[in-house]
Structure 1
Amino acid sequence: MADLVIQGLAKSFARTVVLERIDLAVTAGETVVVFGPSGAGKTVLLRLVSGVLEPDAGDIRIDGRSVVGLGPERRDVGMAFQNFALYPHLSAFENIASPLHAQGLDAASVRGRVEAIARLLKIDHVLHHLPRELSNGQKQRTSLARSLVGRPGVLLLDDPLRNVDAKLRYEMRLELPRLLRDAGSAVLYVTQDYKEAMAIGDRIAVLRGGRIEQLAPPAAVYREPETVEVARLFGDPTINLYPCRPRHGDDGTSVSLFGGSLALPPGLAHAAGRDCLLGLRPEHVAVSVEERPAALPFELEAVTPLNVRGVLYLRAGGGEELLATVPEAEAARFGRGRRRVWVEVEPRHLTLFDRDTGARLAPRAA
């Protein structure tokens, strides 16, 4: 199988810069999820790699060979588009089989591989249907099956679960990582769903404003976001953010917030006196109905269910708002809100960002 290497890739339309110096390498068998807001350039990146578009600058190498200037059929690339791109006059079976016919496989091999991938994607019962007879979810899975069945060196998936119902989407999030690993292709997978990115990617490339803002494994992107904008893109509810100016003393570095003092993780003395933003994920807020010595008092304004969790809307004495999440069973203890509660936060869960640049301020060794 092939590796994919993208170097200095740039693309503009008229005077609008869509992608600016993209550098990215994907090894065979690896899935890199390209995640970002609408208009970030995710689909354009896939179209450049596929050969549908040509870059203004930069290089694309597949299995060590530059493919810039080569047509899609000469790149060893499979792609599933958002708009399905199915042949309307061919059945689902023939749509899926088309890459295999192009490879010259015999009829028995074609049938075996098509039926196997169709069973995996739960569309084996509609293989003889035309695209107009398929639901959007079935069309999406047919397009996905066609991109997988030929076992291309590079696989490009443009939001392949976008039109799939919620139950099947959850199942596919569990099954797709294994399916993609078994395929052995270098995979670029585009999505706007951060949960999907976290579930499917070996690494996540956060694309924003035409640039890769962070490239790291899912856990690192979530726990150690490189910028405040990356932090905002992950999590539901989103991260709590507060302007602050850290101070450093004999007892370490801390910030004044919520009518009290919050200790920061070790190694942040260099942040003292700087204008910062303090980030705190809702799931890292410990809330109790019982007063504790080191806890800060808050008013619980409301409790809202969210999936199997409860979201607590809290307000400090100085007016600062704070979102916290607790397990559903625990949320019942807080009633419907409007009561005094007590909040504790561990320093290791606090993240500092420079307020001007948005960059995360990483702890430094003493």
Structure 2
Amino acid sequence: MAQLELSGLTKTFKTGTAVDAVALTVDRGEIVAIFGPSGAGKTVLLRLIAGIEEPDGGSVHIAGRDVTTDSPEARGIGMAFQNFALFPHMSAYANVASGLTATDTPKDQIYTRVQAIAKMLKIDHVLGHSPRELSNGQKQRTALARALVAEPELLLLDDPLRNVDAKLRYEMRLELPNLLRRYNATALYVTQDYKEAMALADRIVVMLNGKVAQIADSEEVYNAPASVEIARLFGDPTINLLPCEPTRNGAGLTVTIANTRVHIGDGFDIKPGQACILGMRPEDLVLHDGAADDAIPVDVLAVTPLNERYVFLVKTLDGRELLASSGDPASADRAHGRAYLTIDPTAVLLFDGASGTRMARTTPTAVPAGRLR
């Protein structure tokens, strides 16, 4: 039985439809990231599931029970917010225990459970402190402990790491999935950070304009985005997108970039003269010192270190700017001047020029290892 099932969930405000006929099934113990840009409807969706907002249509089932009209406290959920939402007049202990206290749980059980979750989250030494005495990281962990201590059927996390420093965000990306799995928690995690979504979740629900645009795991949403808009949201540096009209010859499909014919493999169902958009991840573009088959002459304009990689801004002879990346430290010496660019044909993406929808290969090729960034 699914732990959460949404069917046609809809919410409309005076400004427009915030959540548009969302359907989603989440299994017990699954971590699902709700990802999308600001205004996509992510937080409104969580509020509908929690019962804070009433839907205009559709239904919410938790553990097989229809809770669409139930009050928030009757739904068996826990929530943690991006602003922590701690009670300022209570100690950290009282904040963590507040959900158990409200249900008249015996004091000895409250003490045991609060101490256990606090130790796990490394806040047991600050339980006597008030929220104003806690660091942002301690506040975040306190809010998470409060959400987890009651062992809810469903955990709703609304961008809980947004207001913490970069070091803690990185640490919690590693710790949080393990913590949730130790509790066998079913969790929906709202975020605008694609790296966070990819690191934390079993599946990612991409929302755009109130609708579910794609549901997939990290590998699929990166390597096979459903549309141009989704492709732009994943990857740093961002994907290269060029308009093109592929043509077919004996070796497969080719596109023309800066007067150079480039093979992009085969397996796409392309009509003659069909307008397309060619998608190329920067890590699938390779710079060479000398000319080669299918190599596009470019001028290197700049090189920028990005974590363990180097990002190159290049310009083709017809003035198009592209981004390429490399993990080879020696490549940093190529700071400017003429170079030649080749494209991995097995990794390119094609989108329909009119709709922006990704065109699937009729004969899929193996995705190169190590492409996920």
TM (norm. structure 2) is: 0.93
Mark the CA change 1:271 to 1:201 in structure 2 (over 3 Å): closer, same or farther.
farther
Counterpart of 2:277 in 1: which secondary structure?
strand
| Equivalent residue runs for 1:21-170 within 5 Å | 21-170=21-170
Task: Check if 1:292 corresponds to 2:292.
Answer: yes
| Corresponding residue number in structure 1 for 2:368 | none
Task: Tell me if the contact between 2:257 and 2:296 (Cα under 8 Å) persists in the aligned partners.
Answer: no
| Equivalent residue runs for 1:180-199 within 5 Å | 180-199=180-199
The percent identity for this pair of structures is 51
The whole-number CA distance in structure 2 between the counterparts of 1:45 and 1:159 is: 13
Task: Tell me if the contact between 1:259 and 1:316 (Cα under 8 Å) persists in the aligned partners.
Answer: no
Task: Tell me if the contact between 2:18 and 2:210 (Cα under 8 Å) persists in the aligned partners.
Answer: yes
Deviation at 1:103? 4.5
The whole-number CA distance in structure 1 between the counterparts of 2:42 and 2:99 is: 25
| Corresponding residue number in structure 2 for 1:174 | 174
The whole-number CA distance in structure 2 between the counterparts of 1:155 and 1:261 is: 52
The runs of 4+ residues in structure 1 deviating greater than 3 Å are: 102-109, 290-294
| Corresponding residue number in structure 2 for 1:364 | 362
| 333, 336, 339: which one aligns with 2:337 | 339
The whole-number CA distance in structure 2 between the counterparts of 1:307 and 1:227 is: 28
The worse-fitting range, judged by mean Cα deviation, of 63-72 and 264-273 is: 264-273
| Corresponding residue number in structure 1 for 2:370 | none
The worse-fitting range, judged by mean Cα deviation, of 149-158 and 287-296 is: 287-296
The whole-number CA distance in structure 1 between the counterparts of 2:274 and 2:63 is: 47
Alpha-carbon RMSD: 1.8
Task: Tell me if the contact between 2:260 and 2:294 (Cα under 8 Å) persists in the aligned partners.
Answer: no
Residues 233-282 of structure 1: CA deviation (Å, up to 9, x unaligned): 01111100001111122221111113312222321142542111100011
Deviation at 1:83? 2.5
Counterpart of 1:348 in 2: which secondary structure?
coil
Task: Tell me if the contact between 1:243 and 1:278 (Cα under 8 Å) persists in the aligned partners.
Answer: yes
Deviation at 1:320? 1.6
The whole-number CA distance in structure 1 between the counterparts of 2:34 and 2:192 is: 9
Residues 36-82 of structure 1: CA deviation (Å, up to 9, x unaligned): 00011111000100011110000000011110111111001101122
Counterpart of 1:225 in 2: which secondary structure?
coil
The whole-number CA distance in structure 1 between the counterparts of 2:136 and 2:272 is: 54
Deviation at 1:294? 4.2
Task: Tell me if the contact between 1:309 and 1:331 (Cα under 8 Å) persists in the aligned partners.
Answer: no
Gaps of 5+ in 1: none
Task: Tell me if the contact between 1:271 and 1:361 (Cα under 8 Å) persists in the aligned partners.
Answer: no
Counterpart of 1:270 in 2: which secondary structure?
coil
Deviation at 1:315? 1.1
| Corresponding residue number in structure 2 for 1:7 | 7
2:244 counterpart letter in structure 1: C
Task: Tell me if the contact between 1:280 and 1:351 (Cα under 8 Å) persists in the aligned partners.
Answer: yes
1:344 counterpart letter in structure 2: T
Task: Tell me if the contact between 2:309 and 2:328 (Cα under 8 Å) persists in the aligned partners.
Answer: yes
Residues 161-212 of structure 1: CA deviation (Å, up to 9, x unaligned): 1111111111110111111122223211000000000000100000010001
The worse-fitting range, judged by mean Cα deviation, of 203-212 and 248-257 is: 248-257
The whole-number CA distance in structure 2 between the counterparts of 1:328 and 1:252 is: 31
1:24 counterpart letter in structure 2: L
| Corresponding residue number in structure 1 for 2:348 | 350
1:231 counterpart letter in structure 2: A
Mark the CA change 1:2 to 1:255 in structure 2 (over 3 Å): closer, same or farther.
closer
The whole-number CA distance in structure 1 between the counterparts of 2:174 and 2:116 is: 18
Task: Tell me if the contact between 2:261 and 2:294 (Cα under 8 Å) persists in the aligned partners.
Answer: no
The whole-number CA distance in structure 1 between the counterparts of 2:258 and 2:104 is: 69
TM (norm. structure 1) is: 0.95
The whole-number CA distance in structure 2 between the counterparts of 1:214 and 1:269 is: 22
Task: Check if 1:307 corresponds to 2:300.
Answer: no
| Corresponding residue number in structure 2 for 1:325 | 325
2:12 counterpart letter in structure 1: S
Gaps of 5+ in 2: 365-373
The whole-number CA distance in structure 2 between the counterparts of 1:122 and 1:263 is: 54
Mark the CA change 1:190 to 1:271 in structure 2 (over 3 Å): closer, same or farther.
farther
The whole-number CA distance in structure 2 between the counterparts of 1:204 and 1:28 is: 16
1:354 counterpart letter in structure 2: D
